Amino acid sequence: MVHNFNAGPSILPHTVFEEASQAILNFNNTGLSILEIGHRTALFEEVLNEAVSLVKELMHLDENKEVLFLHGGASTQFFQLPMNYLSKDKKAAYLDAGVWGSKAIKEAKRFGQVDVVASSKDKNYTYIPKDYAVPHEAAYFHYTTNNTIEGTQMQSIPSLSMPLVADMSSDILSREMDFNRFSFIYAGAQKNIGAAGVNLVVIDKKFLDKSSSAIPSMMDYKQHVANGSMLNTPPVFAIYVCLLTLRWLKKSGGVAAIEKVNLQKSNLLYNTLEAIPLFQLPVAKEDRSHMNAVFTMNNEALEQKFLQQCKDAQMIGIKGHRSVGGFRVSMYNALPLSSVEVLVELVKDFAKQHG
Amino acid sequence: MVHNFNAGPSILPHTVFEEASQAILNFNNTGLSILEIGHRTALFEEVLNEAVSLVKELMHLDENKEVLFLHGGASTQFFQLPMNYLSKDKKAAYLDAGVWGSKAIKEAKRFGQVDVVASSKDKNYTYIPKDYAVPHEAAYFHYTTNNTIEGTQMQSIPSLSMPLVADMSSDILSREMDFNRFSFIYAGAQKNIGAAGVNLVVIDKKFLDKSSSAIPSMMDYKQHVANGSMLNTPPVFAIYVCLLTLRWLKKSGGVAAIEKVNLQKSNLLYNTLEAIPLFQLPVAKEDRSHMNAVFTMNNEALEQKFLQQCKDAQMIGIKGHRSVGGFRVSMYNALPLSSVEVLVELVKDFAKQHG
């Protein structure tokens, strides 16, 4: 059995693979493949409607929220969002706490003024900046809830008066949060929601009202909402995989239940690593991510040996991002606790051999 | 057995469904699902590289062409293209021969001057305009090779001096063409290339040089080329389905061989319909599409009856687009001749009963 610690695209529940595989041969006993059904049919409308309903239910969204499934990944939202909300005389506030957030900042600057309220770049993004002032005139405040590459996570929602916007690509639906406090949430699907090739967007109706209409149709949130994510042919199969994953999450007890398992997994790993001097944890303790654990050994020969042992034990996706080095273990919703237990045993054995 | 005449998403080869279904359970005997493999792995690089190579081979592209698989559908290209090539002082020429072309025109007008050189809107797009002058200073000339909704098709490539740009969404790889005459080709995958959720783009290097860099990264063709379609996480599974479909096409003898079958299918259907006064063919004969045949009966009660008989005989996707009415029969590459034969028998029987 392979233990998949990939940072994304990443492991999905096994039942999702089985159901998706079956739907490609014969979707809902129609004799048709999910890949060949028309998007403007009752068959697909049911898929989309149920996926939207499950997002609303699992996130406990109030009636002011619209849910969209859009083409592209979070990188598309990096520019689509400011294209809708910024102009030369408008300002947005951004927190610079990781590689992805800094890319969002770069794209926003093309459209308007950007106030970077704080940055942890000075320490290679190993912590989340905490004390900063946000200009009250900002059209929105943007941050990344979980930094996939650096292994940091915001543990609480900032108390601010302006609209909150969050890139939740790598921790959405992994922990309980008051999602209704956000005016705009986006997330590439390929971690906790489904497979690569679709974006989840949750937008508050009041914030939607303020979006621009003097932009290309495919960039216009109002048009997507008016057309129920069907402004053009949607990524049918990618949305179907989201539906299957959302159903699995509901059946597993929802966000509160999965959060407990996620904490078990990350606590087990961090506690093990903390107790072994051979391994270093570069991230500030209070900012550690429960989705992506980053650690190093400061010994390249040993790092290679550790990676090889992981590989021999059928563990994949352990190598750190090229910009950080070391190791990164991603523990998204679908990763079973047993995979972390197997890894932890290997970590301990390795420490005994080389500590 | 279902006969799938959907306009898109549409039928794909049965072997593609079987192989895609299997890859979701166990991709290339890795023990991993195609949905959970990392995009920056040798596993996916091989998929992408082979897909690009097959596009080049099947389209007989010269070494000056770059092949991209991008997020979104053709509607994304409607604005991405002019965003790259137009500005207030630059002009592009467009042919207005159908609903999709007119949408492309609308999006282009946001970025620069648009010269609509001819339009067949006066006759509900039932023909392709033929005599028109294109301003020599145009940055490009844009047209739609096949009009999915109206059932018209351009039978030859215009002889023009400026860069040619074509939306080939609904007839790419269905017939032999000198694809090297185009500076830019785009096509949503969900007809002849694969499933919904990815766009094929073929771009000439000289034309690429003229694209803008003062635009969002995700819109910048140069960045996509420099990153080999991996500027962000690509739609992994959608690209894999393209690969399987391209492999099938090669195995089937390539474009020349499939063109012969496509002509057999469309000739059989058009010849049958022409011989029956009950049915009308609104499209100018010389402009008829070999992919999408549009026909009517001018009798709503009979139309409903015909649709019901098709449905009873397990034929789906026959109903015309809501903007045209009547019937539309899509006969993409993967639709077997036998499905058209079954339909033709039903058409003849129906005419006997009601003619």
Q: Using pLDDT thresholds of 50, 70 and 90, give the confidence band for residue B324.
A: confident
Report the topology of domain A3-9+255-354.
Answer: Aspartate Aminotransferase, domain 1 (3.90.1150)
Burial of B178: CB neighbours in 10 Å, binned 0-12, 13-18, 19+: exposed
A323: number of Cβ within 10 Å: 10
- First CA to last CA distance, chain B: 28
Is residue A117 within 8 A of residue A132, CB to CB? The reply is yes
Nearest-angstrom CA–CA distance, B238 and B20: 10
Q: What is the model's pLDDT at position B1?
A: 86
Nearest to B9 among A71, A236, A317 (CB): A236
B110 vs A contacts (CB less than 8 Å): 214-216
Domain ranges within chain A, ordered by starting residue: 3-9+255-354, 14-251
Asked if the Cβ–Cβ distance from A237 to B24 is below 8 Å, we say: no
Higher-pLDDT residue of B324 and B292 is B292
For the entire predicted model, the pTM comes to 0.98
d(CA A256, CA A268): 19
Query: Which residues of A are annotated as catalytic?
Result: 100, 167, 191
Chain A partners within 8 Å of B71 (Cβ): 71-73, 76, 197
**Residues A196, B241: C-beta atoms closer than 8 Å:** no
B228, pLDDT greater than 90: yes
Instruction: Answer for the pair B189, B200: CB distance below 8 angstroms, yes or no.
Output: yes
CA-to-CA separations, B109 to A217, B80, B106, B220, B281, in angstroms, rounded: 12, 12, 5, 19, 33
In chain B, what residues touch A103 (CB-CB under 8 Å)? 217
pLDDT tens by residue, chain A, 355 residues: 899 999 999 999 999 999 999 999 999 999 999 999 999 999 999 999 999 999 999 999 999 999 999 999 999 999 999 999 999 999 999 999 999 999 999 999 999 999 999 999 999 999 999 999 999 999 999 999 999 999 999 999 999 999 999 999 999 999 999 999 999 999 999 999 999 999 999 999 999 999 999 999 999 999 999 999 999 999 999 999 999 999 999 999 999 999 999 999 999 999 999 999 999 999 999 999 999 999 999 888 999 999 999 999 999 999 998 888 899 999 999 999 999 999 999 999 999 999 7
Does position B355 have pLDDT exceeding 90, yes or no? Answer: no
Closest-CA residue to B90 (of B16, B140, B50): B140
CB–CB of B237 and A236 under 8 A? no
Does residue B191 carry a catalytic annotation?
A: yes
Q: Do B25 and A18 touch (CB under 8 A)?
A: yes
B196 contact A CB<8A: yes
Q: What is the mean pLDDT of residues B256-260?
A: 98
The 10 Å Cβ neighbour count of residue B297 is: 20
Chain A contact set for B320 (CB, 8 A): none
Scanning every residue of chain A, which has its alpha carbon at the shortest distance from the alpha carbon of B334? Answer: A36
Q: Is B100 a catalytic residue?
A: yes
Percent of chain B scored above 90 by pLDDT?
97
pLDDT (0 to 100) of residue A324:
83
State the average pLDDT over residues B196-224: 97
Q: Please tell me if residue A317 touches chain B, with a CB cutoff of 8 Å.
A: yes
Q: Are B91 and A96 in contact (CB under 8 A)?
A: no
Domain B254-354 classification at class level: alpha beta
> What is B14-251's CATH topology?
Aspartate Aminotransferase; domain 2 (3.40.640)
Tell me how crowded residue A256 is: count the other CB atoms within 10 A of its CB.
10
**B85: helix, coil or strand?**
helix
**8 Å CB contact of B71 and A74:** no
What confidence tens digit (pLDDT) does each residue in A164-192 have? 999 999 999 999 999 999 999 999 999 99
Q: φ and ψ at A143, to 5 degrees?
A: -150, 170
| Cβ neighbours of A314 in B, within 8 Å | 31
The answer to whether the CB atoms of B35 and A72 lie below 8 A apart is no
* Residues of B (88-117) whose Cβ lies below 8 Å from A: 103, 106-107, 110
- Same CATH fold, B254-354 and B14-251? no
- The predicted structure's pLDDT at residue B306: 97
The values of phi and psi at residue A305, to 5°, are -65, -45
Q: Which regions of chain B does DSSP assign to beta strands (E)? A: 3-4, 65-70, 91-96, 113-119, 141-144, 146-147, 152-153, 164-167, 184-188, 199-204, 292-295, 315-316, 327-330
Task: Please give the span between the terminal C-alpha atoms of chain A, in angstroms, as a whole number.
Answer: 28
Q: Does B320 touch chain A (CB under 8 A)?
A: no
> Which of B74, B107, B217 lies closest to A107 in CB terms?
B217
Helix axes A254-274, A337-354, angle to 10 degrees: 0
